[in-house]
Amino acid sequence: MIIEPRMRGFICVTSHPDGCAQSVRNQIEYVQSKGEIDGPKKVLVIGASTGFGLASRIAAAFGSDAATIGVFFEKPPVEGKPGSPGWYNSAAFEAEAYQAGLYAKSVNGDAFSNEIKRQTLDLIKADLGQVDLVIYSLASPVRLHPVTGVLHRSVLKPIGATYTNKTVDFHTGVVTDISIAPCQDDDIANTVAVMGGEDWAMWIDALKAENLLAPGVKTVAYSYIGPSLTEAVYRKGTIGRAKDHLEASAFSISDSLKSIDGQALVSVNKALVTQASSAIPVIPLYISLLYKIMKEKGIHEGCIEQIQRLYQDRLYTGEAIPTDDKGRIRIDDWEMRDDVQEQVAALWQQATTESLAEIGDLEGYRKDFLNLFGFDFAGVDYKADSDEMIDIPSIS
Ligand code: NAI
Ligand code: NA
């Protein structure tokens, strides 16, 4: 079929298999262009199909020849209706990995559940024995708690007071003021339950209990801080409480790994266009200004550039891993540079519907957004028929 982007609200409901494959190939080429990393050899990536998690899988496989197991929650295609982008990304990733002679298998289902943990543990046991890196990169709006059976929903709200600021509808370019009412009583606890560190700890406990973690294992989860502009809705909002919990969990997980000389870390990453971040109000306006400034300065990065740098310059240098005073790895260092933040803050004051096309990188935002779904890649013939019924080799 011929597949075109179809928008519904802030998401795109179609995705392009050949474009997703192109995206994966581009990321592989980038990693290979940076040379070999003396990195992990057997890797579990939880949240492996899109965004930072996919980049983590690609950088491990094609940067240091790692065997990878990827866990994700994606929709397979049905005749006439494309699957989700993460489905096609994972199909393309496995095909590329096999061609390169690398082990790659995937597990599709709810990573919060006992069943998917069981299935993944069995796969590691059967095929890899142990893993030496576990990346935790889930971004989900809901979590069905495996012990209590409660369905938790995360919210993106300020705490204590209404937050009013500018935002942009990146599809139309219209800049408006938005007011977000403060969260209700249970919102913080629910958001922490979904996006905090409890499930990360459950994964590591389960892996350790069955001796599936190699001596010296590392496990890394991803966090975000960002500027004071977005603080009320992000870092000091409900999602920020979840990130506080995730960051605190790194210390307790590290304690639990002492006997095998393992370490749990959080990496604070740069703001980027992903399915998760485009749903947060105010963030798209910030990102479009940030992209403009970082591209002008020649320091813009996407997920793959960020994670390649995380492995090569932070995790696998052979030296102690550099962290900030709270024990976090910072690969948001270029985003948070004073000169970058001062210029973004100045542009923020000027941003209107009329000025944004000029002072911000709306085009770059839109392109990245379309790219998430496999659209707008050079080298892909979007007028041609493409086969939507692509399988993930290790799943079907
Ligand atoms: P994403 O939406 O691109 O990726 C989410 C991944 O989680 C996908 O592989 C998806 O299949 C998987 N997933 C979601 N629910 C699942 C479930 N129930 N079971 C199994 N898999 C499930 O998100 P992104 O942006 O890559 O986020 C990953 C992490 O990076 C998050 O912790 C996020 O907060 C963090 N981060 C994101 C930044 C951004 O600007 N996008 C910046 C800094 C950190
Ligand atoms: Na991810």
Q: Is 103 designated active site?
A: no
Look up the ipTM and state it: 0.98
Distances from the Cα of 201 to the Cα of 204, 251, 260, 265, 286, angstroms: 5, 10, 16, 12, 32
Question: From CA 352, how far away is CA 313, in angstroms rounded?
Answer: 38
Q: What is the dihedral of CA 160, 179, 225, 365, to 10 degrees?
A: 170
53 lines ligand 1 (CB under 6 A): yes
pLDDT given for residue 119 in this prediction: 98
Q: How confident is the model at residue 10 (pLDDT cuts 50, 70, 90)?
A: confident
Length of the chain: 396
Give residue-wise pLDDT tens across range 69-108.
999 999 999 999 999 999 999 999 999 999 999 999 999 9
Mean pLDDT calculated for residue range 238-247: 98
CA angle 54/55/57 to nearest 5° reads 65
pLDDT given for residue 102 in this prediction: 98
230 lines ligand 1 (CB under 6 A): no
SS3 (DSSP) at 164 = strand
Give residue-wise pLDDT tens across range 49-60.
999 999 999 999
Q: Is the pLDDT assigned to residue 112 strictly greater than 80?
A: yes
Of 111, 114, 119, residue with least CA distance to 86: 111
- Known binding-site residues for NAD(+) equal 47-52, 73-74, 110-111, 138-139, 243, 272-274
Mean pLDDT calculated for residue range 336-358: 97
Q: Point out the ligand 1 atom lying closest to the alpha carbon of residue 111.
A: 19
Give residue-wise pLDDT tens across range 286-300.
999 999 999 999 999
Q: Point out the ligand 1 atom lying closest to the alpha carbon of residue 70.
A: 9
Give residue-wise pLDDT tens across range 178-236.
999 999 989 999 999 999 999 999 999 999 999 999 999 999 999 999 999 999 999 99
Q: How far apart are the two ends of the chain, measured CA to CA in Å?
A: 21
Domains delineated in the chain: 7-372 (3.40.50.720)
SS3 (DSSP) at 314 = helix
Residue 276: nearest ligand to its CA? Answer: 1
Among 23, 140, 198, which residue has the most ligand 1 atoms within 8 Å of its CB, making it the best to mutate?
140
Among 274, 283, 307, which residue has the most ligand 1 atoms within 8 Å of its CB, making it the best to mutate?
274
Question: From CA 48, how far away is CA 136, in angstroms rounded?
Answer: 9
* Protein residue whose Cα sits closest to atom 21 of ligand 1: 72
SS3 (DSSP) at 57 = helix
Of the residues 30, 234, 311, 365, which is catalytic? 234
Q: Is the pLDDT assigned to residue 136 strictly greater than 90?
A: yes
Tokens for 251, please give them.
Answer: 């210390």
